[in-house]
Amino acid sequence: MGVVLTRGGRALSAPGPLVPAGELLGPADVVAPTLLGCWLVTDRPAGRVALRLTEVEAYAGNGTDPAAHSHRGPTPRAAIMFGPPGRLYVYFSYGVHWCANVVVGPEGQGSAVLLRAGDVVVGEELAVSRRPAARTPRDLARGPARLTQALAIGPDDKDADLLDPSSPVRLHRGDPPAEVSAGPRVGISVATELPWRFWETGAASVSVFRPGGKPRGRPARQD
């Protein structure tokens, strides 16, 4: 279920320039849909893998979003969310897998955008070797855990500067999708009414919507 927000655009065959920091300074729910179509590129010793983002999720700062890790302030886990825009916030979810977020908004605010899904456009063979359970190309990065696995993103990438051309993980501009839809966020148990999940309408790699989250004894979660 979702609402179409925009129309127009086409997919690039190669990444554009790095996303300027100024484009990440707005509120999380405003910046998040602008990241759709952008390329997330990782360069590792084994080679390069890049994907085009098809699904993201906004988490607001300033203590206004009880589903955000930053809701309780700059704790050791969430401190990176309060850094400058364009940093990579990586966290371990449910003790099982890693999730990747782009810090957005002014420094000190605590806002981020969770990268939920994308289409692998460079290095598919390497991505498959990291995701042998994937049955089709659409499954390589369909969901936040699969996305980090395909790109080999983990704890060593915490606080990486996505806007630095020398960084092993970078965020590049891409043309926007033809249509962008919005709907409820996934896997949370608070602030579920906010339509802050954004996705490329009709993209096969968009994850399946499952409302609600697993109770963990604390209201703030960003899964």
Find the CATH number of the domain harbouring 62.
3.10.300.10
Single-letter residue type at 99: C
Q: Which residues touch 136 (CB under 8 Å, ≥6 apart)?
A: none
* Mean pLDDT within 183-211: 89
Q: Is residue 207 part of a domain?
A: no
- Average pLDDT for the chain: 89
Q: Tell me: the pLDDT tens digits for 96-131?
A: 789 999 999 999 999 999 999 999 999 999 999 999
The tally of domains found in the chain comes to: 1
Q: Is residue 205 part of a domain?
A: no
Q: Is residue 115 part of a domain?
A: yes
What single string gives the DSSP state of each residue in 61-86? -TT--TTSGGGG-S-TTTGGGGS-TT
Q: Tell me: the pLDDT tens digits for 52-93?
A: 999 999 999 999 999 999 999 999 999 999 999 999 999 998
Q: Is residue 217 part of a domain?
A: no
Which secondary-structure segment (H or E) carries 113?
strand 111-122
Question: pLDDT class for 14, splitting at 50, 70, 90?
Answer: confident
Which domain, by its residues, includes 18?
3-194
Other beta carbons within 10 angstroms of residue 64's beta carbon come to: 15
Q: Is residue 24 part of a domain?
A: yes
Give the whole-angstrom CA distance, residue 205 versus residue 217: 31
Threshold 0.85, pTM exceeds:
yes
